[in-house]
Amino acid sequence: AQSVAQPEDQVNVAEGNPLTVKCTYSVSGNPYLFWYVQYPNRGLQFLLKYITGDNLVKGSYGFEAEFNKSQTSFHLKKPSALVSDSALYFCAVRDMGYGQNFVFGPGTRLSVLP
Amino acid sequence: ETGVTQSPTHLIKTRGQQVTLRCSSQSGHNTVSWYQQALGQGPQFIFQYYREEENGRGNFPPRFSGLQFPNYSSELNVNALELDDSALYLCASSLEVQGNTEAFFGQGTRLTVV
C-alpha cells in the first residue's frame, strides 16, 4: 500500500530565509507525487507535481520540489519565505490502483515569522 | 478559486441523523472524489465517481454513500451519524481518471455531529 510521511508537524522560518518542508513516500512502482497547500477554512490548493523527467519541479508561488528516488523523498522548497506562505502543507502520492485516489501525509504547519 | 463549489459550508447534526453534502465539479471534469479530513489530520479517501459510477472506495463503512449526476455534480450521504464523523469533507474534481493529473478541491463542508 502507498504511504506518505511528513516527519515534521511544524516548521518555523524567518521571512526572507529559505524554507524546506520534508516528505518521504513508500509506493510500489513509479510514484506520482504532489504538494497541496491549505489555508485556514479553505480547501486544498495544488502547488506542484512530479510525474517523470527532471527531478527538480517548479510550481506555483515560487515553490519547487526535489524528487530523490534513492531516498524516496520529495521535499518542498522555496528560496525566500513570505509571511503569506504560512499555511498547512500536504504531500500526496497517487494510489495507482482502482480509482487512483490521493494518499495524503499528515500535513506540516509552516509558520513564517516576520 | 478552483471552480469546485460545495454546499453547505457548515452544518451541525445530531448523532443518528442523516446528512447530504453537495459538490459541483469544475466545468468539463467528469471525475469527482470525496475526502474526509478530521481535525489535525490529512484527508482520507472516501470514494470516487467517474461518469456516474463508483470507481473506487476507501476504508469507510457502507453508511457513507454517494451519487454522481449526469452533469457530473455529486452528493455524499452519511446515515446514522456518529460523533467521529465530525470533520471537514472535501470534494475534488479532475478530468478523467488519470494518475498524472492534479485534482481541484472545493472549500469543504465542515460537519459537526453533537
The pLDDT assigned to A16 comes to 98
Amino acid making up residue A95: D
The pLDDT assigned to B49 comes to 93
**Band of residue B1 on the pLDDT scale cut at 50, 70, 90:** low
For the stretch B49-88, pLDDT in tens is 998 999 899 999 999 999 999 989 999 999 999 999 999 9
Whether B10 contacts chain A with CB within 8 A: no
Chain B residue numbers touching A51 (CB-CB < 8 A): 100
Cα–Cα distance measured from residue A70 to residue A62, given in angstroms and rounded to the nearest whole number: 26
Q: Which of B105, B4, B90 is nearest to B41 (CA)?
A: B90
The backbone torsions φ and ψ at residue A85, rounded to the nearest 5 degrees and listed phi first, read -80, -10
The backbone torsions φ and ψ at residue B30, rounded to the nearest 5 degrees and listed phi first, read -110, 5
For the stretch A17-49, pLDDT in tens is 999 999 999 988 889 999 999 998 788 999 999
Chain A residue numbers touching B26 (CB-CB < 8 A): none
The pLDDT assigned to B6 comes to 97
Q: Which of A91, A68, A64, A89 is nearest to A4 (CA)?
A: A91
For the stretch A46-97, pLDDT in tens is 999 999 889 999 999 999 999 999 999 999 999 999 999 999 999 999 887 7
Cα–Cα distance measured from residue B36 to residue B43, given in angstroms and rounded to the nearest whole number: 5
Whether B28 contacts chain A with CB within 8 A: no
The pLDDT assigned to A22 comes to 98
The pLDDT assigned to B96 comes to 73
Among chain B residues, CA nearest to A90: B42
- Across the interface, whether the CB atoms of A43 and B90 are under 8 A apart is answered yes
Over 80: is that where the pLDDT of A98 sits?
Answer: no
Q: Which of A44, A45, A52 to mutate to test the interface with B (most CBs of B within 10 A)?
A: A44
